[in-house]
Structure 1
Amino acid sequence: MSIDSILGDFDLLKPMVMRASAQSGLFDIVASSQLTFDEIVESLDYLDPYTLRLLIQALDEYGYMLIKDDKVLLTELGKTLARNIAFINSVTSRSTASGLFSYAPLALHERLERGANYFELSHKEQYWQLVNRDPNLYASFEQGYSGNFDSDSLLDRAQLTKTDELFKARNILELGSGYGDTAYFILKSGFSGNITVSDLSNRIPVLTAQSRWQDFQGRVYISAIDFFTDPIPHHSTILLDSILADWDDDQCIILFRRIRSAIKENSGKLVISEVTRFSNDDGIDAIGKLTLACAVSGRVRSEEEVENLIRTAGYTKITLAGSSEHRFTLVAY
């Protein structure tokens, strides 16, 4: 049985589940011995029980694991996949949590025996096009801002409104806006300026489809920007919110230098705010928990580590604007 027949057509959570399982070593542990859920929790003490429960339930749903007589076991599909977990881990480790919707499954399909264009030939479209029109994806977005859980509190976004360099700016450019939740929070909290939300071109349909921007007509702009290749527009403040785990240290330094060139001409500021952990509250959604589990080891950086990267990029003034259990915010000039 080939690996691609095991992986099949990825849905929204499958790449996250595969990534998290490989990173946590869950497949290795279940493959080596028959353990109860409590024993697995004890072995993987760096992941909270809620996250592990989500992983095992998802793997059971996908047919890779099953729970029998209180033991977590691998199915035949799971055993075959476990024998290839090192390969899967090496491929998915090149994509971070925020890129899993587009990059990880595409990479897995492309690098298998079927050839580089296997996915596009099979589905008659690119992977991100398939994802962008998937109703389940939009449903997951809706969960984030429909009041099903208070993500603003869980992610301590209030810290951003207390950062004067951000909240009192004339205009903000947020790079890597994702679904736009941070920009929306800033606007609904009373920010009086304009915000440009930006991400890669495959995310733009997701941003433009949201009706919530109508409350702030004329003040929200949406732009496709590749941080590493496209010119970065001049704004009084450029915001990076919890996206540094997408890149290694060298890539972060390159990005910081490109931003420095963009803000230097108009004496702008770079605001970097990083969520270092999510609340263990069961109220957070499954996608958020699995995203946390998928974070690349070593890339959830401390404020000191991020500050060192900023200095290496040539910034001369860096201040700590806020710090809490779950988030810190730095301002660089």
Structure 2
Amino acid sequence: MSSSSDCSGTNVLQESSSSDSKNADLLQEYIHAFIISKVVFSACELNVFDVLAGSEVPLPLTAISELLGTSIRGTEILLDACVGLKLLKADNQNGEVLYKNTELAHRYLRKTSSKSLFSSIIHYSPNVFRKMDLLTDSVKQGIPVCKMQHGNPEDAFFNLYRSEEQMIEFLQCMESSWLLFDKEAVMSAFDLSSFKIICDLGGGTGTLAKVCDAMYPTSSVILYDLPEIIQVTQEHFISKGDNRISFQKGNFFKDPLPDADLFILSRILHDWDDDTCLKLLKKIYMACKPGDGVLIIEMLLNEDRTGPLIAQLTSILMLVVTDGKERTLSAFKTLLETAGFKDIQLGANGKIMEVILARK
């Protein structure tokens, strides 16, 4: 009897010890996560992956250090961390370690890759990472960092649009982020062919306008954005093959909206508080004829707030850099119904970006 009790107690202790170890490992992962981000940012800023891609053979530490113009000590530590993160491969040949890109880095972290996320990373490093240091203050005050630092500017994008260079960097970030989402699947969540004039409000670089133009050749597509955004987009992001897309300059809060059958709001509403979202949705509703609609593309939080984690973390980002947040489907339904919309449907997308269609 005593022996059985001892065994049972030992098993409980072992299970408890195993659970404690897993919990400790998980917390260590969380605590050090910011270091992982900064390793990726720094490696991109130093052009580590482009330098290695430019060589036909793996390179030794000394050669990489010389090409980067960095110290031997710092370069070695950074490269080894990249190996641990599976961004680089290390091969020890006769006592000398040679480094090369993994397929992951080759595909997503080189500047010249067609699937490059380099622009997003270069934008996040100075513009987002540093702001996260003030997350505690944003939680306390409920406002983004820019409003703490710049005396409550008109909106949270004040800093991003101060110069053409910053604007291009931000737009490149938005453009490259679509590589993480299947834009064709997003725009296929509903059959939009019945809408003959489609307007992408705040359409930025025209990513979705181009997809709409390709998928719905019998529809006209309008890209609507601020005058400075339209100018930069036409100069840097639109090719001759996109000549069917028309452009209209304006501020969708202040200026008249185009005549359209469908208005797209892609990753727009998560930038704003409920009152501002409602103001915009009511304006769209008034611009719609019966049967016209609005297509909302956003991440969705689970109704029970259990996830998905990417949406929860993006909501943290919205807290720090905008007035908005990520929302549940029911929250969007409430906003849409209050604005007057009916027949609210969730598209069968199942991706990170979900699609909601509502009609007047």
Shift of 1:256: 0.9
Task: Give CA deviations for 1:209-252 in whole Å, capped at 9, x if unaligned.
Answer: 135342031x2122222222212222011111121111111221
Separation of aligned partners in 1, 2:242 and 2:148: 40
Q: Which residue of 1 aligns with 2:350?
A: 324
- Count of residues in Structure 1 that have an aligned counterpart in Structure 2: 239
1:66-123 residue CA offsets vs partner (Å, 9 max, x unmatched): 999x9xxxxxxxxxx999775577789337xxxxxxxx3xx565439xxx9xxxxxxx
Match of 2:294 among 270, 282, 285: 270
Q: Deviations over 1:112-135 (max 9, x none)?
A: 9xxx9xxxxxxxxx966653145x
Report 1:167-182 matches (<5 A).
Answer: 167-182=193-208
Check whether the contact 2:189–2:349 (CA below 8 A) recurs between aligned residues.
Answer: no
TM-superposed CA distance for 1:189, in Å, is: 4.0
Gaps of 5+ in 1: 1-36, 71-80, 96-103, 117-125, 282-289
TM-score when normalising by structure 2? 0.52
CA distance in 1, matches of 2:234, 2:135: 37
CA gap of 1:160–1:83, structure 2 versus 1, over 3 A, is: closer
Higher relative contact order (CA 8 A, sep 6+): 1
Q: Distance in 2 between matches of 1:40 and 1:110?
A: 35
Structure 1 residue 156 and structure 2 residue 159: aligned?
no
- The code of the aligned residue for 1:200 comes to L
Asked if residue 242 in structure 1 is aligned to residue 267 in structure 2, the reply is: yes
- Contact 1:152–1:185 (Cα < 8 Å) also in 2: no
Query: 2:93 aligned with 1:93, yes or no?
Result: no
Residue 185 of structure 2 aligns to a residue whose secondary structure is: helix
Q: Which amino acid aligns with 1:294?
A: L
The answer to whether 1:201 aligns with 2:251 is no
The separation in 1 between residues aligned to 2:134 and 2:144, in whole angstroms, is 17
Q: Which amino acid aligns with 1:93?
A: I
1:296 aligns to what? 319
Counterpart for residue 285 of structure 2: 260
1:33 equivalent in structure 2? none
Q: Conserved in 2, the CA contact under 8 Å of 1:318 and 1:331? A: yes
Amino acid at match of 1:42: Y
Which among 21, 32, 42 is matched to residue 30 of structure 2? 42
* d(CA) in 1 for partners of 2:357, 2:350: 16
2:212–2:221 CA contact under 8 A, matched in 1: no
Query: What's the CA shift for 1:157?
Result: 1.8
Cα distance between partner residues in 2 of 1:139 and 1:84: 22
Q: Does 1:54 align with 2:37?
A: yes
Structure 2, gaps ≥5 residues long: 1-24, 46-73, 82-130, 302-307
CA RMSD, 1 decimal: 4.5
Change (3 A) 1:171 1:213: farther
Q: Could you tell which deviates more after superposition, 188-197 or 290-299?
A: 290-299
Contact kept in structure 1, 2:297 and 2:354, CA below 8 Å: yes
Quick one: distance in 1 between partners of 2:27 and 2:292?
Answer: 52
Name the TM-score, length of structure 1 as normaliser: 0.56
Q: Percent of aligned pairs with the same residue?
A: 20
